[in-house]
Amino acid sequence: MLDMNFYKGKKVLVTGHTGFKGTWLCKMLVMAGAEVTGYSLNPPTDPNLFSIAGLEGKMNSVIGDVRDFEHMKAVFEQAQPEIVLHLAAQPIVRDSYKDPRYTYETNVMGTVNMLECARHCPGVKSVLNVTTDKVYHNNEWCWGYRENEPLDGFDPYSNSKSCSELVTHSYINSFFDKPESAAVSTARAGNVIGGGDFANDRIIPDCVRAMAAGKTIGVRNPYSTRPYQHVLEPLAVYLTIAQKQYEDKKYAGFYNVGPDDCDCVTTGELVDLFCKYWGEPAAWENQAEANAPHEANFLKLDCSKIKATFGWKPRWHIEECMDMTTRFSKVWLNKGDVPAEMEAEIELFLKG
């Protein structure tokens, strides 16, 4: 499915490159020999994966805000990318309740600015906008959402990503509709886990922080069901989509990217697995909040399209995901060689 040799020598621009997924993606591209330019705010957490991933001097890292069109345009003009992977976002549901205006500005106008830059940069041949599984109108039903379901996220984060999808659809119809235009797709990814995520209000980082502090893990929504996958799973799909539509525009479209049904588990079950692979003294307790902001209780994707189109299937299931996640986290806590661990995990994943 994925041919990393394709990326050798390719000029790739990644927005949001200092984030969790962005850092892993840049690591994969640098290992493949791509010429990578990143455009992002400073790393959003302290500690952060980007600073310890061993990418310094191996890519062009530009600190900038996706809301700043003129700056982004200048970076596009300098980098002259062939492929654009748009990951920059305000990604936290609970933070979107605290600052909805910033969330919409970043997630909607950031998308507009990226697409404007891409359409005026003649060398761009492939664009992928990464959104979320939360773009759908959630009916809390037990089957997965398909790509043709209505888009209408509930909270400001989810809704802003629905808007980002609609912006992309309009740009495809209005500006990328000619044979010579760049191919443009969106990828709606499920929840990701993996080593090096230090974000607030995410369950695995909460688990690791609890272990570092010698505390019991607090779980806010133990009965909420989510599709969990290792961070390398969607990144491999993003790179596949970008490659295939670069080679043939017929592959441009809208794709769900999620795990198999067996990897859709409750938060409590996920933390049980974390405790299993971490070992003693890991334990958790229910800390549900009575008046917490609304978050979906049940969410699952139907990924039949991506499987049929590219022959994709998940390489690591939930147990392997947790094994890798806890292994990485222990390397980091023990001040081990994080870049080497990342490279080893990527090489193991790509072997299938």
Give Dmax over CA atoms of the chain in angstroms.
59
255 in a structural domain: yes
Per-residue pLDDT of 217-256, as tens digits, reads 999 889 888 889 999 999 999 999 999 999 999 999 999 9
Give the model's pLDDT for residue 190. Answer: 82
Q: Which of 184, 297, 291 is nearest to 242 (CA)?
A: 184
Where helices occur in 176-303 by DSSP H, the ranges are 203-213, 232-247, 267-278
**Does a cis peptide bond (omega within 30 degrees of 0) precede residue 222?**
no
3-class state of residue 125 by DSSP: coil
Per-residue pLDDT of 251-299, as tens digits, reads 999 999 999 988 989 999 999 999 999 998 899 999 887 666 766 677 8
Report how far Cα 286 is from the mean position of its chain's Cα atoms. 27
Contacts of 341 (CB under 8 A, 6+ apart): 195, 327, 328, 331
328 in a structural domain: no
Backbone angles phi, psi at 220, to 5 degrees: -80, -40
In SS3 terms, 40-104 reads as ECCCCCCCCHHHHCCCCCCCEEEECCCCCHHHHHHHHHHHCCCEEEECCCCCCHHHHHHCHHHHH
Give the model's pLDDT for residue 33. Answer: 98
202 in a structural domain: no
103 in a structural domain: yes
The number of distinct structural domains making up the chain is 1
Other beta carbons within 10 angstroms of residue 42's beta carbon come to: 11
Give the model's pLDDT for residue 288. Answer: 81
Instruction: Please state, in angstroms and rounded to a whole number, the distance separating the CA atoms of residues 196 and 49.
Output: 5
Give the model's pLDDT for residue 15. Answer: 98
Report how far Cα 5 is from the mean position of its chain's Cα atoms. 22
Domain around 49 = 8-193+228-263+297-315
Give the model's pLDDT for residue 292. Answer: 65
Other beta carbons within 10 angstroms of residue 17's beta carbon come to: 29
Instruction: Please state, in angstroms and rounded to a whole number, the distance separating the CA atoms of residues 160 and 300.
Output: 19
Give the model's pLDDT for residue 23. Answer: 98
CB 329 within 8 A of CB 216: no
3-class state of residue 335 by DSSP: coil
Give the model's pLDDT for residue 323. Answer: 97
DSSP code for 1: -
Buried b (16+ CB within 10 A) or exposed e, 266-296: bbbebbbbbbebbeeebebeeeeeeeeeebb
Where the chain has pLDDT below 70, the residues are 290-292, 294-296
Token readout for 321 is 């995901």
113 in a structural domain: yes
Give the model's pLDDT for residue 142. Answer: 81
Q: Residue 177: which H helix or E strand, with range?
A: none
CATH number, domain with residue 310: 3.40.50.720
Instruction: Please state, in angstroms and rounded to a whole number, the distance separating the CA atoms of residues 164 and 22.
Output: 18
Instruction: Please state, in angstroms and rounded to a whole number, the distance separating the CA atoms of residues 171 and 169.
Output: 6
204 in a structural domain: no
